Amino acid sequence: MPDKNIPIDLKKLSFSDSVSYYFDKAAPFTGAPQGLLDQIKTCNSIYKMNFPVKYGNEVRVIEAYRVQHSHHRMPTKGGIRYSMQVDQDEVMALAALMTYKCALVDVPFGGAKGGIKISPRQTSPEILENITRRYTTELVKKNFIGPGIDVPAPDYGTGEREMAWILDTYVTLNPGEINGYGCVTGKPISQNGIHGRTEATGRGVVYALNEICSFKDDMKDIGLETGLEGKRVIVQGLGNVGYHTARIIAKYGAKVIAIAEADGAVYDENGIDIDDLYKYRQEKKSVKGYGKGKVIADSASALELECDILIPAALERQITEKNAPRIKAKIIAEAANGPVTPAAEKILLKKGVMIIPDIFINAGGVTVSYFEWLKNLSHVRFGRMQKRWEEKHQTGFIKLVEELTGKTVPKARIESLIHGADEIDLVNSGLEDTMIEAYRDIREFKKRRKSEIDLRTAAFAVSINKIKNSYYAMGIFP
Ligand code: GLU
Q: Is 78 in the pocket of ligand 1 (CB under 6 A)?
A: yes
CA distance 139 to 147: 13
Where residue 227 falls (left for φ over 0; alpha for ψ -120 to 50; beta otherwise) is left
Given a contact cutoff of 8 angstroms between Cβ atoms, the answer to whether 356 and 206 are in contact is no
Distance CA 431, CA 101 (A): 14
Is residue 369 within 6 Å of ligand 1 at its C-beta? yes
Query: Which pLDDT value is given to residue 223?
Result: 97
* Distance in angstroms (rounded) separating the CA atoms of residues 24 and 83: 29
8 A C-beta contact, residue 418 and residue 394: yes
> Could you tell me which residues are beta bridge partners of residue 61?
52
DSSP β-bridge partners for residue 365 = none
Measured in Å, residue 81 CA sits from the centre of ligand 1 at 10
Q: Ligand 1 atom closest to Cα of 97?
A: 4
341 lines ligand 1 (CB under 6 A): no
Residues forming beta bridges with residue 49, ordered by sequence position: 64
- Which numbered atom of ligand 1 lies nearest the CA of 109? 9
Say if ligand 1 is within 6 A of residue 155 CB.
yes
Most informative mutation of 82, 98, 105, 145 for ligand 1 (most atoms within 8 A of CB): 98
Of 43, 47, 45, 44, residue with least CA distance to 139:
47
75 upstream amide cis, omega within 30 of 0: yes
Ligand 1 midpoint to CA 78 (Å) = 5
Cβ–Cβ contacts within 10 Å for residue 119, how many? 11
Atom of ligand 1 at shortest distance to CA of 366? Answer: 8
- Give the residue whose CA is nearest to atom 8 of ligand 1: 366
Q: What pLDDT is recorded for position 428?
A: 98
Report CA(198)–ligand 1 centroid distance (Å).
11
Per this entry, what is the length of the chain? 478
Taking residue 160's Cβ as centre, other Cβ atoms within 10 Å add up to 18
* Ligand 1 pocket, residue 234 CB under 6 Å: no
Question: Is the CB of 153 within 6 Å of ligand 1?
Answer: yes
Q: CB of 337 closer than 6 A to ligand 1?
A: yes
**Catalytic residues, which ones?**
113
Pairing of strands 354-356, 331-333: parallel
d(CA 409, CA 413) in angstroms, rounded, equals: 7
Centre of ligand 1 to C-alpha 118, Å, is 19
Give the span between the Cα atoms of 30 and 7, in whole angstroms: 22
Q: Is 99 in the pocket of ligand 1 (CB under 6 A)?
A: no
Domains and their CATH numbers in the chain: 10-191 (3.40.50.10860), 223-352 (3.40.50.720)
* pLDDT at residue 8, as a whole number: 84
Distance 200 CA to ligand 1 centre (A): 10
What is the distance in A from the centroid of ligand 1 to the CA of 90? 15
- Residues in Cβ contact with 313 at an 8 Å cutoff, skipping those fewer than 6 apart: 202, 205, 235, 236, 237, 239, 241, 242, 245, 335, 336
pLDDT at residue number 203: 98
> 99 C-alpha to center of ligand 1: Å?
11
Give the mutation target among 155, 203, 368 for probing the ligand 1 site: most ligand atoms within 8 A of CB.
155
Does ligand 1 come within 6 angstroms of the Cβ of 366?
Answer: yes
In angstroms, rounded to a whole number, what is the distance separating the alpha carbons of residues 48 and 273? Answer: 43
347 lines ligand 1 (CB under 6 A): no
Best residue among 69, 366, 375 to mutate for probing ligand 1's pocket (most ligand atoms within 8 Å of CB) is 366
Global pTM value: 0.96
Mean pLDDT of the chain: 96
Enumerate residue ranges in the chain where pLDDT < 70: 1-5, 451, 478
* Amino acid at position 364, single letter: G
